[in-house]
Structure 1
Amino acid sequence: MRDATGVALGARPPGDDVETLFTRHFVAQASRPVGLLDVPVGGLHPGHRCLLATDGMVSTTLEAYHLEPIAAQPVSQGDARLDATDAHWLAVPSAATAFRRRVALRGAVSDTLYVVAESLLVPSRLPAGFGDAIDRFPSGLGAALLASGIESRRELLWFGAGTVPDWYPVAAGRHALQRTYRVVHGGEPVALITESFL
């Protein structure tokens, strides 16, 4: 039996096909920002590959891997005007306003910094009171979405090698694996999320 790309199920494709196997999960890899560099996914630690490709909650994956609770520490949040690229991926007019939330995901026991993440949310497409739900769940946006009971799916857009963004000065400029995905609810994007994995 073979998957959609013709690779036998259970078989590991040789050479460059490993890159194709992994990248096919990202629907807009060719549209990734210019500053993101290629990543030889075959050489990545399996844990990093799982983090890049998971369409579940990153905090849950981190907790399972590191065996400690993960807490989302807010860095900043508030309204932000979208640039043309972000507006496109959120399917809103250019220069529209979104709710921007920036957090650091840290180990609640070790205080290890694992991820910095920026979420751009379209409040009009989310349930009333969703903003309050975000504040109630220390493990982040994914937990708030789950608790709200809305049906949603994640659409992986792109990934690459980059650096921690300047908005998190504690680690700004450090090398990081980065990915961007969007959360879709009711056929419309409700969030655009960029995560940098240290």
Structure 2
Amino acid sequence: MREATGATLGARPAGDDAEALFTRHFVAQASRPLGLLDVPVGSLHPGHRCLLATDGMVSTTLEAYNLEPIAARPVSQADVRVRAAEAHWLGVASAATAFRRRVALRGAVSDALYVVAESLLVPSRLPAGFGGAIDRFASGLGAALLASGIESRRELLWFGAGPIPDWYPMPDGRHVLQRAYRVVHGGEPVALITESFL
């Protein structure tokens, strides 16, 4: 086994290599919604890169980075008809019904707004009573999935920069980092989640 040198230890891919290294984790980057802008990942803060690429719980990552508990505060939740693009990623018929939950992830101490997220859930593919269980976990959907004991995996779809969703208006109209992923259980998508990082 060859000993690593200081020159190779600190080496980082540059330019297009860095972009390719990062985007290979997103299976549908080429299919991202129109209006999402390219993000030069090499210029992002490492914390933002970690948030975009994590396939674990965002609230846990935020708690570790900010050293405060994270609370998922519901903005709205209701049964809705899914649009065609959403139906595709959920693997359901167009105009099927899903449970939509919109939340703001805030610091439980600072009240700082870190993320706004929208989840579309397919209740028939989740354990009975799962929808009601979400509200029992302050940090949100990920904690509820973990506590339910169902085996699931996250599939990162795409990321980019775009305006904050119109259901959570911000006064300055700035662009934010966004990503989408789906949660797969039993070989079927059970949730499509879009997150905007502030």
TM-score range, shorter chain: over 0.9
* Residues 164, 170 of structure 2: 8 Å contact kept: no
Gaps of 5+ in 1: 2-7
SS at match of 1:74: strand
Classify 1:55/1:9 alpha carbon distance in 2 versus 1 (closer, same or farther; 3 Å): farther
Equivalent residue, structure 2, for 1:174: 174
SS at match of 1:139: coil
Say which one has the larger Rg.
Answer: 2
* Residues 100, 120 of structure 1: 8 Å contact kept: yes
Root mean square deviation of aligned Cα: 1.7
CA positional deviation for 1:163:
1.5
* Residues 70, 105 of structure 2: 8 Å contact kept: yes
Equivalent residue, structure 1, for 2:97: 97
Listed one character per residue, the Cα deviations across residues 9-41 of structure 1 (whole Å, up to 9, x for unaligned) are 985223210000000000000000011000000
Whether 2:89 is the aligned partner of 1:82: answer: no
Listed one character per residue, the Cα deviations across residues 143-170 of structure 1 (whole Å, up to 9, x for unaligned) are 0000000000000000000121110135
CA positional deviation for 1:171:
5.6
- Matched residue count: 192
TM-score by length of 1: 0.93
SS at match of 2:76: strand
SS at match of 2:135: helix
Map 1:44-123 onto structure 2 (within 5 A).
Answer: 44-123=44-123
* Residues 72, 139 of structure 2: 8 Å contact kept: yes
Q: Percent identity?
A: 86
Equivalent residue, structure 1, for 2:151: 151
CA positional deviation for 1:132:
1.6
* Residues 164, 171 of structure 1: 8 Å contact kept: no
Equivalent residue, structure 1, for 2:188: 188
Distance between the aligned counterparts of 1:136 and 1:170, measured in 2? 28
Distance between the aligned counterparts of 2:194 and 2:184, measured in 1? 15
Classify 1:141/1:9 alpha carbon distance in 2 versus 1 (closer, same or farther; 3 Å): farther
Map 1:26-41 onto structure 2 (within 5 A).
Answer: 26-41=26-41
* Residues 27, 157 of structure 1: 8 Å contact kept: yes
Gaps of 5+ in 2: 2-7
Classify 1:116/1:171 alpha carbon distance in 2 versus 1 (closer, same or farther; 3 Å): farther
* Residues 165, 173 of structure 1: 8 Å contact kept: no
SS at match of 2:124: helix
Listed one character per residue, the Cα deviations across residues 89-132 of structure 1 (whole Å, up to 9, x for unaligned) are 00000111100000000000000000000000000000001012
